[in-house]
Chains A and B, each alone.
Chain A
């Protein structure tokens, strides 16, 4: 079993839809949870950052962490074609030097 599991998709939605992206993990010691967005032929860029359980909202993006279920989610409201990218979940223990990434979900938002 991989430490971090993420459905690679691809996922295709119409513009304006609500997108839900998810990851599960096996190591209950993970404390920091992140979502990265990677456009084609670019490096990943940090999108959302959450410590421990709970929700965090930033504009159209909401990150949720459920440590009891070892499950994290990213919701994108009112999705736009510019949101088309690969979204990678990532998580680490306390020391920031051991970040583990999911396989990434490729999202396409169609106009």
Chain B
């Protein structure tokens, strides 16, 4: 069973389009995250949700909107895609704050905007 699963794995789309990436975890974790990894492999946090509540919202264009229907799911919707949005987007989850055992990552969604 995949612990953190993301769909789709690959996404190629044109500038100006709107797209969504879905993430689900079956670990029973309370916190989920979206990270963006650029071409130089640098991982930067975008959003963090704890029990469906937004707790971290880094400086991200408001074209990016996360949605958490329940604590096992965290989706990312991107409006008006731009060339600079091309990157690999990782979903991750972790157990409760104070129980710091690291994050479990999904395998990533490789987004290419053309």
Residues of chain A at the chain B interface (Cβ within 8 Å): 8, 32, 34, 36, 38, 41-46, 49, 51, 86, 88, 90, 92, 94-101, 103-104, 106
Contacts of B102 in A (CB 8 A): 34, 36, 46, 49, 90
Assess whether A97 is in contact with B41, with CB atoms less than 8 Å apart: no
> From B96, which residue of chain A is reached at the shortest CB distance?
A96
B100 touches A96 (CB 8 A): yes
How far, in angstroms, from A106 to B45 measured CA to CA in the complex?
21
Q: How large is the interface on B (under 10, 10 to 19, 20 to 34, 35 or more residues)?
A: 20 to 34
Are B105 and A97 interface neighbours, CB within 8 A? no
When C-beta atoms are compared, the residue in chain A nearest to B97 turns out to be A95
State the CA gap A95–B4 with chains docked (Å): 21
**Assuming the A-B contacts A46-B103, A104-B41, are A97 and B108 also in contact, with contact meaning beta carbons closer than 8 angstroms in the complex?**
no
Given contacts A86-B41, A101-B42, A106-B41, is CB(A95)–CB(B98) below 8 Å?
yes
B90 within 8 A of A: yes
Please determine whether A43 and B90 come into contact, CB atoms closer than 8 angstroms: yes
Stretch from B11-19, B48-56, B69-77, B79-87 at the A interface: B48-56
Contact A98 B100 (CB under 8 A): no
CA distance A9 to B100 in the complex (A): 28
Task: Find out whether the CB atom of B108 lies under 8 angstroms from the CB atom of A42.
Answer: yes
Q: Which 7 A/B pairs are nearest by Cβ-Cβ distance?
A: A43-B105, A46-B102, A95-B97, A101-B43, A96-B100, A104-B41, A32-B100
Given A32-B100, A97-B48, A88 and B43 touching (CB < 8 A)?
Answer: yes
Residues of chain B with a CB closer than 8 A to A103's CB: 40-42
Residues in A with CB closer than 8 Å to B42 are 101, 103-104
- Asked whether any CB of chain A lies closer than 8 Å to the CB of B106, the reply is yes
**CB-based contact A96/B108 at 8 Å:** no
* B94 interface residue per 8 A CB criterion: yes
Q: Nearest chain-B residue to A43 (Cβ)?
A: B105
CB of B31 within 8 Å of the partner chain:
yes
Question: How many angstroms from the CA of A32 to the CA of B48 in the assembled complex?
Answer: 18
A96→B104 contact, CB < 8 A: no
